[in-house]
Amino acid sequence: MGSLKSPVFILVLHLLEGVLSNSLIQLNNNGYEGIVIAIDHDVPEDEALIQQIKDMVTRASPYLFEATGKRFYFKNVAILIPETWKTKPDYERPKLETFKNADVLVSATSPVGNDQPHTEHVGACGEKGIRIHLTPDFLAGKRLTEYGPQERSFVHEWAHLRWGVFDEYNNEEKFYLSKGRPQAVRCSAAITGENRVRWCQGGSCVDKGSCKRDKVTGLYKEDCVFIPDKQQSEKASIMYDQSIDSVAEFCTEKNHNKEAPNAQNQRCNLRSTWEVIQESEDFKQSTPMTTQPPTPTFSLLQMGQRILCLVLDKSGSMTNDNRLNRMNQASKLFLLQTVEQGSWVGMVTFDSAAYTQSELKQINSAADRDLLTKRLPTVSSGGTSICSGLQAAFTVIKKKYPTDGSEIVLLTDGEDNTISTCFELVKKSGAIIHTVALGPAAAKELEQLSKMTGGLQTYASDQAQNNGLVDAFAALSSGNGAVSQRSIQLESRGVNLQTNQWMNGSVMVDSTVGKDTLFLVTWTTQAPQILLWDPSGTKQGAFVVDTATKMAYFQVPGTAKVGLWKYSLQASSQTLTLTVTSRAASATLPPITVTPIVNGNTGNFPSPVAVYATIRQGTTPILRASVTALIESVNGKTVSLELLDNGAGADATKNDGVYSRFFTAFDTNGRYSIKIWALGGITADRQRTSPQKNTAMYIDGWIENGEIKFNPPRPDTNNVQDKQLCFSRTSSGGSFTASNVPSAPIPDLFPPCQITDLKASIQGQNLVNLTWTAPGDDYDNGTASKYIIRISTSIVDLRDKFNTSVQVNTTSLIPKEANSEETFAFELEDNSFGNGTDIFIAVQAVDKSNLKSEISNIARVSLFIPTEEPPTSEGTAGPPCPDVSINSTIPGIHVLKVMWKWLGELQVTLGLH
């Protein structure tokens, strides 16, 4: 077999630190500062919960410190308290801390059920997670037997969140064959214990003896579990079973079990957790401490009323492309619908100077909202002084409240080379700045204001039919309000109509929304004909028409009817848009929400940008939805990208309600906006979503003083029926900036993405069957040109010496389009491998430019030839077991006689007597 050509350079996905969330965490002299733990609005008031959070973090800090070789500890933590809890003198107002940027969320239910600690993580190995989820019952110590001490589980989850490592156990595949013998999936392999048959009924489990091997596979049968000894000497690993008393370290390169089929090996290229941690920025900027760390400090912050000021550009360039009027249309939607009742709102406009249009006014009625809309600017002129607008906004806010924790929505279309002069003022203000860049020339430094304050950054082009400006303002709901109070965008459509053309469609109002439902229509020249019918076919009217701003809106009285609302709009030679927003129908029924996430605020060509969208109803993931990302460049080019939840390409985990895709279709440098559309789907039981969930290990049981003690089984809800959901959602995904994009024609520098879901099985003694999801020509788009499959009997050699490993003949294997299921079978050469040999397999995809993907996750098969065994009791019914339980009616003096007689009968049955 000839050697391969030298591999081309594999492009590495460029990711910024902390880009998957607006986390405030910073590492300062080995201590983590700015950690935000939020108590969700659904948690009943309980002062003990605050102390339980403090206790957990306080105990976790020295555990983390020792586990990381005296490198890291928890320095300070902010605990966010819901607005509905009683106010206390020691509760302060938050600054940049919000529910949206919280690192830990304490909610009444866990996303994975049974109070199991869980970390949201949508990226690759080594990328930071989004948020840790804990429950009050977990923090109260009600799950100690299932997960061990809270502080140990917290450190387990912290490793997911901060360093992007994965679990070292596998609930779906608890054993694997190594040299023909079954081994428990664990790390390190030195963890001792027994393999036992666990039988569960009625919420309790009992030991049914030693495990039996399947004669075909050689593995233990499904009812077998590995029960670790409670007393161990092994110190690793926290990412396996954090509850074992001796475990106080992460697996290192020396003791890491590379063969175990767990998420850490599959996702991190067989590297140990400590190796991944060593590659993190945290590790690189720290050295071990020589003294013990201080005890963590805590601040108690309570949500309050929303305080916000609009800062709107009215400079001369806003006359271009109808920008001023479009800004007013979007601002009206924000003031009429998006901003929550009870909020305090002010308004400032600016050109070369700033003008206060409205002092802070509390939104208590429709009249308050209308009054603010009347203060929107109608004339544009002058230059652009962004800092003047910000300074005026701070002055407006300070007249009534401190600027700490306040918000500013800043919209501009102009360049301003003095914007950096107010960066320090912004940092000191404690205010959150949301930026809206309008058109191609908005100040390049604008996004810095959002980045430094944790605000949302958005971009809207001059293509009015894309409705980008309205989408940006519709996304500005409160980061602290209860989800039931937030405005939810159901629809956002636009079209350029010719003479007497119609814009027809329908919007689904589902049962989770319907309150405060608003239909908003905008146009560019003259008012269109607007027809709207509710689900019963009744025509709706009473649109409020604003000819000056060129918009009309209809507020549905009460709660909108569930079902399809149909609309028809007719106009000639102009652009129309339709936006529909609503709120939760009930405070007790969580609405379906779509949350877009981008893996970076900067796309550095030729690295792709990963786009994600999570779809949830409360904590329950929504599966099988149709999800599309619309990505628009500063040139006005829009790319439609279907997002998938298939566990391949950009998607880390299958069936977890996170839909993902790589974006590679760059056409220019500059800003790109993202809009997410989602339609339909099903709610699926938590236990049937993907097995790899980044959770603290649920302990099946343990052996203590020679006695096996089982925990109750996790709730079995496999019989729960899928529930079909009909819904529509639209959500702005913010924006990112591309750089280093070459002039057209843009060269092909994107290789196929890595295959991450390769699976292998063996049929008979030598036929290996493979399955995987097809990558594309450019990451997960298009079609690859060919596959290279190689095998080895050494898992490390296959990883490190892939190009010299044995190559499989794949001439008959023609790649399918990206995200299709691939299957391939090949035969092992006769007599080349003996019984008990482990075969490791990996795949590499190659595109038409001969760019090669990273090698896939490594799959394995073990040659297991069943040996002939004499007949045993298996398949033969023995005599029934005598009842010798504690409630037995057999007198104690006769117990031994009964058992002796029973053993005799058993010997006869087995042919041993």
Annotated active-site residue in 97, 120, 157, 491: 157
3-state secondary structure of 167: coil
> Does the annotation mark 157 as catalytic?
yes
**H or E stretch at 59:** helix 47-67
Separation of alpha carbons 376 and 357, rounded Å? 8
Which amino acid, one-letter code, is at 498?
Q
Element (H, E) at 603: strand 602-604
Q: Supply 912's token pair.
A: 């041993």
Cα separation, 811 vs 791, in Å, equals: 16
Question: How far apart (Å, rounded) are the C-alpha atoms in residues 91 and 622?
Answer: 36
CA distances from 786 to 26, 743, 813 (A): 44, 29, 8
Tokens matching residue 845 = 């995809």
C-beta of residue 733 within 8 angstroms of C-beta of residue 675: yes
What's the rounded Cα separation, in Å, for the pair 97 and 427?
14
Residue 578 Cα distances to 227, 327, 465, 575, 729, angstroms: 59, 15, 10, 10, 13
Q: Using an 8 Å Cβ cutoff, are 296 and 363 in contact? A: no
Read off the tokens for 267: 């996702």
Helix pair 47-67, 150-163: axis angle to 10 deg: 70
| Helix (H/G/I), strand (E/B), else coil: 880 | coil
The DSSP element (H or E) to which 561 belongs, if any, is none
Place of tokens 């391969």: 4
The DSSP bridge pattern shows strands 344-350 and 307-313 to be parallel
The pair of structure tokens assigned to 123 is 């990226």
509, 582 in Cβ contact below 8 A? yes
Beta partners for 852? 846
Report the C-alpha gap between 499 and 403 in whole angstroms. Answer: 51
Within 10 Å of residue 589's Cβ, how many Cβ atoms?
13
- Strand order across the beta sheet in which 551-555 lies: 488-497, 574-584, 513-522, 551-555, 544-546
| Contacts (Cβ under 8 Å, ≥6 apart) of 521 | 528, 530, 543, 551, 552, 553, 569, 576, 577, 578
Helix (H) or strand (E) holding 258: none
- Residue 805 burial class via C-beta count within 10 angstroms: exposed 0-12, middle 13-18, buried 19 and up: buried
**Alpha-helix residue ranges (DSSP H) falling in 454-599:** 468-474
Q: What are 303's two structure tokens?
A: 């949500």
Contact 692, 167 (CB under 8 A): yes
For the record, the structure tokens of 900 come out as 């002796």
State the amino acid at position 322 in one-letter form.
Answer: N
DSSP state of 162: H
User: Rounded distance, CA 258 to CA 187, Å?
Assistant: 9
Which one, of 348, 367, 368, lies nearest residue 357 by Cα? Answer: 348
Candidates 745, 604, 734; CA nearest to 669 is 604
CB 662 within 8 A of CB 639: no
Residue 79: partners with Cβ closer than 8 Å, 6 or more residues away: 37, 38, 39, 50, 53, 54, 298, 299, 300, 301
> Using CA atoms, how far apart are residues 123 and 736, in angstroms rounded to an integer?
17
Provide the terminal-to-terminal Cα distance of the chain, rounded to the nearest Å: 59
Helix count and strand count (H, E) for the chain: 15, 47
Catalytic sites, residue numbers: 157
